[in-house]
Chains A and B, each alone.
Chain A
């Protein structure tokens, strides 16, 4: 139960894993880039050895896999050395993605909770809705993205909102699933007890079902907020020109700029991980307020 002690036991293994992954990354860079390099050496009939190969592999202009320090340099160039408002700043692009992700997340939370309440309280919706909500998730969202943007554009809605709709489409699902589970989590005994108190549906909802659902809701929100970033990036692929991390990915892949792709990818992960930890922080405070953190541990 002691958080400090637990993380103490983690720092060392996590560092080891990260070091191992970095070594694999460097080795992978040599391996994946070697084909091109050896071709080039042979063409120019240069003598080469493994140190030469490694040094070249880690400093190529257009590597198949850039080395970590190259990505770091690219990140420094596009994050630290640029004005935030500049179109070349990754922070600017991250901001574009973040705003549509957040709006999508808020919309998805509202939609997901609304649907869950409907499913839990209305038998007909319980029977009819769930299979279609699941089916909705098997629709390739990337395929829908351009159409959603075109259709919404044709009725005069442009900019942030269409992208958020795509984010919402991806991340309302975990909210519905978690919330339905949560609203149904109270034991039958507690529901019977409410019946003996002659409580109204609204009272049962606010005094029993909603508090019971909070831990489930937060677990889902953590999944949902990570998905909202994915959704925003996917939505930016067809709308390329307007910026965002998705647009950077697409540009990078058009011009074979792998370093650019990796930098965008790492920025996206940082954004996503930050959002998840903010939700996790909210979860911890909320659960502590609910019950001193007791149920959260269970």
Chain B
């Protein structure tokens, strides 16, 4: 196994990974022959049409789904071991907050489970709520917050575990465009500050190109990697960059990749 962990700074190493779901009407090939290596500090987006297996791939990394064949290492160990080491934080599509817990109590939930002391819990909750600009809302209940604020609580909660790896499944999918733009900027800022490794699932081409250092284009039936596009946009970027020719040509390449996936499908 150890010879396979190619270099020390590879956070996620995936080789020829496939996954079939057993359903009542036969197996569904959700993922097939995926090869992907994610290096430390990268921001990688997974993009592709609905049902192409983005969520499934993320869930395999998070040990929420077992792969059928191939190899996967997270931090050089199996996903199960990585989970037990608490080496990643997972942000779900919906905020997944507990209505009976205040904002702070929601953020400290994983810390309670890890068995941190109360003062450590409070310190981390404060730190990460401030980081997502939610200072002052500590004692509100989730249902007293807007959708965007709820999702930021959810991100703060994932960060509070202080993982090296952040897995995000369409965290802004349910939000309006303006809130989304705003959170995209905040997330980018966060990534610059913390230099976490981020795997980010999205449907939106501009979002993927704007945030990522690499965009992985996937195609459906069976889910596989069509193209991997390096984005060398300047690290100090604002939303205005979306009008620049560099950005537009990257977005065009992503779109081409998505189209290629479809034509392949029709043959």
Contact = CB atoms under 8 A, between A and B. Distances in A.
A and B touch in the complex (CB under 8 A): yes
Interface of A: 187, 189-190, 192-200, 203, 207-208, 211, 290-292, 294-295
B99 A193 contact: no
B100 A295 contact: yes
Given A195-B63, A196-B83, A197-B109, A290 B100 contact: yes
B84 interface: yes
Given A192-B92, A196-B90, A198-B86, A211 B113 contact: no
Nearest to B65: A192
Contacts, number: 55
Interface of B: 59, 62-64, 83-84, 86, 88-90, 92-94, 96, 98-100, 109-110, 112-114, 141, 143, 161
Contacts of A190: 96, 98
Contacts of A195: 63-64, 83
Most buried by B among A189, A197, A199: A197
Contacts of B98: 190, 208, 211
A200 B92 CA distance: 20
A207 B96 CA distance: 14
A196 B161 CA distance: 11
Contacts of A203: 113
Given A196-B83, A207-B109, A207-B113, 6 more contacts: A192-B92, A196-B88, A197-B109, A198-B84, A208-B98, A294-B143
A183 B50 CA distance: 32
B100 A207 contact: no
B83 A198 contact: yes
B96 A211 contact: no
A194 B110 CA distance: 8
A208 B96 CA distance: 12
B102 to A, nearest CB: 10
11 contacts: A192-B59, A193-B92, A194-B113, A196-B62, A196-B63, A196-B89, A197-B109, A197-B113, A198-B84, A291-B141, A295-B100
B100 A189 contact: no
A198 B113 contact: yes
A197 B110 contact: yes
A63 B34 CA distance: 86
B115 to A, nearest CB: 10
A200 B113 CA distance: 8
A294 B109 contact: no
Contacts of B89: 196
A199 B96 contact: no
A199 B113 contact: yes
Contact of B64 (A192, A199, A200, A211): A192
A189 B59 CA distance: 12
A294 B110 contact: no
A291 B143 CA distance: 9
A190 B110 CA distance: 12
Contacts of B83: 195-196, 198
B141 A294 contact: yes
A189 B98 CA distance: 12
B96 A291 contact: no
A46 to B, nearest CB: 72
A187 B98 CA distance: 11
Given A196-B62, A196-B83, A295 B113 contact: no
Contacts of B112: 207
B30 to A, nearest CB: 16
Contacts of A294: 99, 141, 143
A230 B221 CA distance: 60
Chain B CB within 10 A, most for which of A193, A198, A207, A291: A193
Contacts of A197: 86, 109-110, 113-114, 161
A117 B148 CA distance: 36
A189 B109 CA distance: 15
B96 A189 contact: yes
Contacts of B99: 291, 294-295
A291 B110 CA distance: 19
Nearest to A295: B99
Nearest to B86: A198
A291 B64 contact: no
A54 to B, nearest CB: 58
Contacts of A189: 92-94, 96
Nearest to A204: B113
B64 A196 contact: yes
B75 to A, nearest CB: 14
A295 B97 CA distance: 13
A203 B83 CA distance: 16
Contacts of A208: 98
A192 B167 CA distance: 13
Nearest to A290: B100
A148 B129 CA distance: 60
Contacts of B100: 211, 290-291, 295
A132 B110 CA distance: 39
Nearest to A287: B100
A205 B58 CA distance: 26
Most buried by A among B86, B94, B109, B161: B109
A211 B101 CA distance: 10
